[in-house]
Structure 1
Amino acid sequence: MKQPIRMFGIGLLTAGVIMLGTYFFFSGSVNTVDNLTNDELVSIIEEKGYHVLSNSEYIAASVNESSAQSEESKENNKNAESDNSSTDQEKEDSANDKEKDQAEEDKPKTYTLHIEEGMASSDISSSLEENEIIDDSSEFNDYMEENDYSLRVQLGEFEVNSDMSLYEIAEAITR
């Protein structure tokens, strides 16, 4: 038993000596960022196609950019003022459209869910999400798993709507 352990130790020592020798003899002189001067760094960066700015050049460029943005915002404000001069009829029409859209959004959506044999609970939740009955199919899947509803899903057609809670939907499809 001592012989294999000694040979393993000698092998490790030999590998360490070889790696140490390789590191010292073949590493050479590597230029790191710490060893280079600023002028050398700038020339290397410019060779790669970048442009180096001094602090004063950067500040000047930033000021010019912010003044250009403020001029653009002034032009946008002028355009907005000219757009605001639309007729009262257009305003009334848009207000009526908004009211109709909101009334449609407030109306609960109903859906007849068809559950067939072999249908997974993930398929059911995806179908409910596609028809805008639930907001998040993974949340419904998690709810079904945590409350042991996924094993009690019944076959058939079930009427569900978007006003129902996850509990109510789960109860409806497991009866």
Structure 2
Amino acid sequence: MMNKRNVRAFAFGVFFTACVIGSYYSFFEETSKTKKENLTEEQAKELLNDAGYQVMTQKEFEEYVTKEAKPKVSETEPKTKEKDANAEKTASDDKEQGTKTYKLVIETGMFSEQIVELLFKEKIIEDKYEFKSYLEDKGYSTKIQAGTFSVTNDMSYEQLAKTITKD
């Protein structure tokens, strides 16, 4: 028969056991989480490199993205074709409204970061990180299509995204 005294004794036993187990893990057990918190920067880089990841600073990453965003023209192609490609990419200013129009050329295999970088350099978007986040959050970054698109600096993020994607 369960009376008040037996229930209290049982509850005290459960509480005491939980305290003993918690104390053991807090003081005597060094978990892998604790070990990882004590890693130096060099040890963390080595651990990531061993796992197959490439570690670079923010500046190195931005330089890489900028370098990859530049259009590649084969040296065997005539220079007139290069001039035509540059002519397509030139931006025109609409002086009456302050609207800037840009002919965006997206090549097969370009990453969304490269496209965002081009739009930022041409001042179509003001914040490249915000637009990149918008593309990823709304699922547009996986739907970008190769082609030539006319975009302006007064377009919303949604309008830009819909212009360069399947949607």
Please give the TM-score of this superposition, normalised by the length of structure 1.
0.40
> Which has the larger helix fraction?
1
Largest Rg, 1 or 2:
1
Please give the TM-score of this superposition, normalised by the length of structure 2.
0.42
